[in-house]
Amino acid sequence: MEAVIREVLQKFFPGEEIVSVGPHGSGHINHTFAVETEAGKKYVLQKINTDIFKDVEGLMENVVNVTDYLRGQIAQEGGDPERGTMRALPTVDGKYYYKDVEGGCWRVYLLIDNVISLDQAENEEALYASGLAFGRFQAQLADYPAQTLHETIPDFHNTPKRYQTFEKAVEEDCCQRAASAAGEIAFIRARKVETEILTDLLKAGELPLRLTHNDTKLNNVLLDPETYEAVCIVDFDTIMPGLTAYDFGDAIRFGANTAVEDEPDTSRVSLSLPLYRAYVKGFVEGCGGRLTPKEIETLPVGAKTITLEQGIRFLTDYLQGDTYYQTSREGQNLDRCRTQLALVADMERKWEQMQIEAPH
């Protein structure tokens, strides 16, 4: 790996002396490194997971076009476009990724420093800041032509399709694991009809298709360590046409959960209503009136649907032998699934308290 990294860096920084390369971040999908040069410049180097992102050309076209657009929006608003969004760097050949001799695909971003990333909400201010950031993201990109984006993962938030894939994994049971997840399988099957609510509303034209981030976890918002104000949203790999409710829901299932994503003790899992309300406040404010009343009404549905969908995805991966999400211990994906399903159950208990009124 070290020799390959040296090869890659020469394509992005020919002649620059690299003084350090080390692991960076906590993502499940890509392999990420922090790079520092002798001149003191700092970068993020990533090896793209091409098992998941098969169209690297399309992926990077999305990233470059959207971040270029965002820099223009941020500059118009009087912000700092170099800290307000990511900047991908080209190779010496002018491409935004490099394929190494082994076929691996790599890219480089400028590192945004003096920021923190939280894997769990430390306070309501962090969730409010995250909500405000993703709401502004929706507002800034409300006029971006979503239909021009490449679909980097087909049917990514097609919850009914995710359910079908899950049923196939249960039926095939290729790793003989279904028996160990019988309770989780039954829980998901009992909520099959709920996987279709948002996609049915989209088909009926009651919800608009928008440019969505599709991975709105708290740790994808870089925060100022002193003020907790959002500095920058990162990880644009899953930017695609989608529903606002899914972006909202993914943030809630991750940020307003009282437990970490792979907590083995589900008694520690619950929806924190103070954190939920903090995110709602920030998100609706950040959207600045760009959402329709129906979109606001269905935000709680998005929270429950995306949490259920994520539980389905974790369980499907567990049943198929942990081929999608990186794991560091046996049964981790099953624990991840159980955490999501426990959160769904708690949302059901708190459903009336989760409802949101559209601003007048």
Q: Contact at 8 Å (CB) between 212 and 239?
A: yes
Instruction: Give the per-residue pLDDT at 335.
Output: 98
Report phi then psi at 168, rounded to 5: -65, -40
Q: Is the predicted pLDDT of residue 29 greater than 80, yes or no? A: no
User: CATH homologous superfamily for 124-354?
Assistant: Aminoglycoside phosphotransferase (APH), C-terminal lobe (3.90.1200.10)
Percentage of residues in the chain having pLDDT higher than 90: 81
Q: Is the pLDDT of residue 357 over 90?
A: no
Q: Give the start-to-end residue ranges of the domains of the chain.
A: 2-110, 124-354
Q: Distance between CA atoms of 195 and 110, rounded to whole angstroms? A: 39
Q: Can you tell me the distance from the alpha carbon of 283 to that of 30, in angstroms, rounded to the nearest whole number?
A: 28
The predicted structure's pLDDT at residue 360: 62
| Predicted local confidence at residue 28, as pLDDT | 61
Asked whether residue 239 carries a pLDDT value surpassing 80, the answer given is yes
For 2-110, the fitting CATH number among 3.30.200.20, 3.80.30.20, 2.30.30.100, 3.40.50.1980 is 3.30.200.20
For the stretch 264-283, pLDDT in tens is: 999 999 999 999 999 999 99
Q: How do residues 120-178 score in pLDDT, each as one tens digit?
A: 887 899 899 999 999 999 999 999 999 899 999 989 999 999 999 999 999 999 999 99
Can you tell me whether residue 274 is helix, strand or coil?
helix
Say how far apart CA 205 and CA 289 lie, in whole Å.
20
